[in-house]
């Protein structure tokens, strides 16, 4: 199921960042600079049930317009699946009717979270310029493409014209060198960066490089680009390498010729560069009500919880389920604590079953939920009651995000979530490794 990718990075001026190269190619220019307003041709558009057809279709009717290229549109139901009330069912019905009306062949209905499905089906290529109707569309930047989230009005323009204007962003380069200690993962990196870099990085791209990034599997790289949204950045991006190409082939897609040419020039100008040592990082957790309220898990140890949640595009991948199973194997969760697990796609659910991970999790007392966005966005099962405290592997913990306004949500890796489920309080996961 291939989508036409981007041409090789040739014919472009020297001294460009990776993001600038992609934007130059998409705008038909040989060079762009931060602050310029440009119009880009879109290679791929991702629509979700949350802000897609139900927001876009009425505008299309008003305009008397259709879709510029159904083959370049990917449509996913993930936020309202499975329907828990009549309103949710109506949104899903409308989404299915939209797919049929406009002949959208790449329609994934109740198969998983859109950002994860793009990766699973090999629909992203290095050098592509893509748009998504959700802030965490930046997830796809792990594949060396430029993909950013836009609102329903902007996405209406995209699906009608196949183009969008943007302001060329600056690039912040973040370098990580060395190896993590056992129990430290990409989620800990992002919570630390939310604290260090803040969440006000509008009109910026975060480019991640270094030996630590080179050693990461694609699933971990996607955490870094996904949570560029929490940094407030336009998107996150990682230069493609052999790991990227191998993952594309595993997904059934042959990489474009010259895919490895999509990387920043040695002479590229960055707004700033930040360097970190992976070996110095400890497991992190973020206190309510912001991912920037983060620090070493030891500073929050002992905080009691009511619920532990492993879910969302950033926190319920196969590697997350493996992390949780490693902590929980042969153990039982604490009395009075709920551990809810919502795998990020049906494929991940099946793989976890094959590996015996689901058996390990349920024997420890976990409760399996359907795949989808679910409680991360206070939709479906797993929302929080007034005054409850949850530790979650999701990407944001804003007040009211997962349910009641007075509920408190802590963020951590799947290791940290599973450890807290065992003890009934926030706990350093390294105690169980």
Question: Domains of the chain (ranges plus CATH)?
Answer: 20-277 (3.30.499.10), 285-432 (3.30.499.10)
Residue pair 289/409 in contact (Cβ under 8 Å)? The answer is yes
Distance of CA 354 to the CA centre of its chain: 24
Residue 6: predicted pLDDT: 66
Closest CA to 374 of 61, 83, 179: 83
Task: Give the integer Cα–Cα distance in Å for 72 and 43.
Answer: 7
Asked if pLDDT for residue 421 goes beyond 70, the answer is yes
pLDDT at 254 over 80: yes
- Residue 270 — pLDDT band, cuts 50, 70, 90? very high
Is the model's pLDDT at 163 over the cut of 80?
yes
- What percent of the chain has pLDDT above 70? 98
The candidate with the shortest Cα–Cα distance to 282, out of 196, 180, 362, 198, is 180
What values do phi and psi take at 304, rounded to 5? -70, 150
Q: How many CB atoms lie within 10 A of CB 274?
A: 14
How high is the pLDDT of residue 114? 97
Contact 378, 398 (CB under 8 A): no
**How big is the CA angle at 48 (ends 89 and 120), to the nearest 5 degrees?**
115
Alpha-helical regions (H) of 86-125:
86-102, 114-120
* pLDDT for the residue 48: 98
Q: What pTM value is reported for the model?
A: 0.96
pLDDT over threshold 70, residue 5: no
- For residue 141, is pLDDT > 60? yes
Q: Are 227 and 314 in contact (CB under 8 A)?
A: yes
Burial class of residue 33, CB neighbours in 10 A (0-12, 13-18, 19+): middle
pLDDT mean over 254-266: 95
Flag whether pLDDT at 297 surpasses 70: yes
Structure tokens at 21: 């190269």
Residue 142 DSSP class: G
User: Which tens digits make up the pLDDT trace of 174-205?
Assistant: 999 999 999 999 999 999 999 999 999 999 99
Angle between helices 242-250 and 218-226 (to 10 degrees): 100
- Segment 14-40 mean pLDDT: 98
Residue 2 confidence (pLDDT): 47
Q: What's the mean pLDDT in 92-108?
A: 98
> Where residue 1 falls among pLDDT bands split at 50, 70, 90?
very low
Residue 11 pLDDT > 70, yes or no? yes
Mean of the per-residue pLDDT values of the chain: 96
Output the pLDDT for position 126: 98
Cis bond upstream, residue 307 (ω within 30):
no
**Rounded distance, CA 40 to CA 294, Å?**
36
Q: What is the pLDDT of residue 3?
A: 53
Model pLDDT, residue 385: 97
pLDDT at 420: 98
- Residue 13's pLDDT is 87
- Over residues 24-51, the mean pLDDT reads 97
């Amino acid at each position: 199921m291939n989508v036409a990718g981007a041409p090789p990075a040739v014919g472009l001026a020297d001294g460009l960042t990776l993001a600038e190269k992609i934007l130059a190619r998409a705008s038909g220019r040989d060079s762009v600079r931060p602050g310029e307003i440009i119009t880009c041709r879109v290679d791929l558009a991702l629509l979700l049930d949350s802000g897609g057809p139900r927001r876009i279709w009425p505008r299309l009717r008003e305009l008397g317009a259709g879709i510029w290229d159904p083959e370049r549109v990917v449509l996913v139901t993930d936020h309202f699946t499975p329907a828990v009330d009549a309103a949710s069912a109506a949104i899903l019905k409308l989404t299915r009717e939209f797919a049929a009306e406009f002949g959208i062949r790449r329609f994934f209905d109740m198969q998983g979270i859109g950002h994860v499905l793009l990766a699973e089906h090999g629909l992203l290529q290095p050098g592509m310029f893509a748009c998504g109707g959700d802030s965490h569309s930046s997830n796809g930047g792990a594949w060396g493409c430029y993909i950013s989230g836009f609102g329903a009005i902007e996405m209406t323009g995209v699906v009608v014209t196949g183009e969008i204007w943007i302001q060329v962003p600056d690039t912040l380069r973040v370098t990580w060198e060395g190896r993590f200690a056992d129990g430290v993962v990409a989620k800990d990196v992002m919570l630390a960066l939310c604290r260090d870099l803040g969440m006000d990085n509008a009109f910026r791209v975060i480019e991640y490089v270094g030996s630590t990034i080179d050693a990461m599997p694609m699933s971990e790289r996607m955490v870094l680009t996904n949570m560029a949204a929490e940094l407030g950045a336009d998107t996150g991006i990682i230069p493609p390498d052999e790991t990227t190409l191998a993952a594309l082939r595993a997904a059934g897609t042959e990489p474009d010729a010259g895919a490895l040419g999509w990387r920043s020039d040695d002479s590229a100008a960055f707004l700033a560069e930040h360097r970190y040592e992976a070996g110095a990082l400890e497991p992190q957790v973020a206190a309510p009500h912001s991912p920037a309220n983060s620090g070493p898990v030891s500073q929050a140890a002992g905080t009691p919880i009511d619920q532990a949640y492993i879910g969302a595009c950033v926190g319920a991948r196969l590697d997350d389920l493996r992390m949780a199973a490693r902590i929980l194997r042969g153990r039982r969760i604490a009395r009075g604590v709920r551990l809810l697990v919502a795998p990020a796609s049906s494929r991940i659910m099946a793989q976890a079953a094959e590996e015996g991970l689901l058996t390990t999790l349920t024997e420890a007392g976990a409760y399996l939920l359907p795949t989808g966005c679910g409680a991360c966005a206070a939709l479906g099962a797993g929302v929080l009651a007034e005054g409850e405290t949850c530790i979650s592997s999701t990407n944001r913990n804003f007040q009211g995000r997962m349910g009641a306004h007075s509920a408190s949500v802590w963020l951590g890796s799947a290791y940290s979530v599973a450890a807290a489920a065992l003890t009934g309080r926030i706990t350093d996961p390294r105690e169980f490794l």
